[in-house]
């Protein structure tokens, strides 16, 4: 026989197989309570989350991790996290700073296989805090996220 019997037929099946495989390769996601500063435990086990909830958690962890500051990520993946504070300390015009922030957030979030697009950035300066909100298009639907810098 020239072709394997279990070959995936049709675009829809191929798309589904690719989506399932990309999510599997990303590993498990555990629920983290950022207010308490610890993982959520149910019945003595870390609470595993998946789907949209896992993508939201991954986005939050990526945004809250300052790139290069956590040694555990330097060992496994030097690209984990985002450098946002350094961008604010720049003497560049505000438009360039905002464009750099948008570029860095987009590049970091697009590493996730279930994220298709990052768009609709809104910047709001309030005294010494910059509030950045944006929309993330995922295979589970749209998610509105933000970060205070």
Q: What is the pLDDT of residue 65?
A: 78
Instruction: Please answer whether residues 59 and 109 qualify as being in contact, where contact means their C-beta atoms are separated by less than 8 angstroms.
Output: yes
Q: What is the pLDDT of residue 80?
A: 67
Task: Confirm whether 59 is domain-assigned.
Answer: yes
Burial class (CB in 10 A: 0-12, 13-18, 19+), 135: middle
Helix ranges (DSSP H) in the chain? 11-25, 51-64, 71-76, 85-88, 94-109
Backbone angles phi, psi at 60, to 5 degrees: -60, -45
Q: Which domain holds residue 108?
A: 11-148
CATH code of the domain covering residue 59: 3.10.450.40
Q: How far apart are CA 130 and CA 35, in angstroms?
A: 21
Task: Confirm whether 26 is domain-assigned.
Answer: yes
Task: Confirm whether 6 is domain-assigned.
Answer: no
3-class SS at 126? strand
Task: Confirm whether 101 is domain-assigned.
Answer: yes
Q: Which residues of 83-119 are buried (b: 16+ CB within 10 A; e: fewer)?
A: ebeebeeeeeeeeebbebbbebbbebbeebbbbeebe
Please identify which residue in the block is written with the tokens 């957030």: 105
108-119 pLDDT, tens digit each: 899 899 999 999
Task: Confirm whether 2 is domain-assigned.
Answer: no
Task: Confirm whether 142 is domain-assigned.
Answer: yes
Task: Confirm whether 47 is domain-assigned.
Answer: yes
Cα angle 119, 114, 124; round to 5: 25
Domain count, the chain: 1
45-88 pLDDT, tens digit each: 999 998 999 999 989 988 887 765 655 554 455 566 777 777 77
């Amino acid at each position: 026989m020239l072709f394997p019997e279990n070959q995936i037929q049709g675009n829809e099946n191929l798309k589904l197989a690719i989506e399932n495989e990309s999510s599997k390769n990303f590993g498990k996601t555990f629920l983290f309570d950022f207010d308490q500063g610890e993982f959520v435990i149910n019945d003595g086990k870390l609470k595993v989350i998946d789907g949209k909830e896992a993508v939201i958690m991954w986005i939050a962890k990526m945004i809250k991790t300052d790139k290069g500051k956590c040694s555990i990520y330097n060992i496994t993946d030097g690209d984990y996290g985002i450098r946002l504070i350094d961008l604010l300390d720049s003497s560049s015009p505000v438009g360039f700073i905002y464009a750099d922030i948008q570029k860095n957030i987009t590049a970091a979030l697009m590493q996730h296989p279930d994220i298709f697009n990052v768009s609709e950035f809104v910047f709001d300066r309030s005294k010494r805090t910059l509030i950045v909100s944006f929309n993330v298009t995922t295979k589970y639907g749209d998610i509105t996220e933000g970060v205070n810098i």
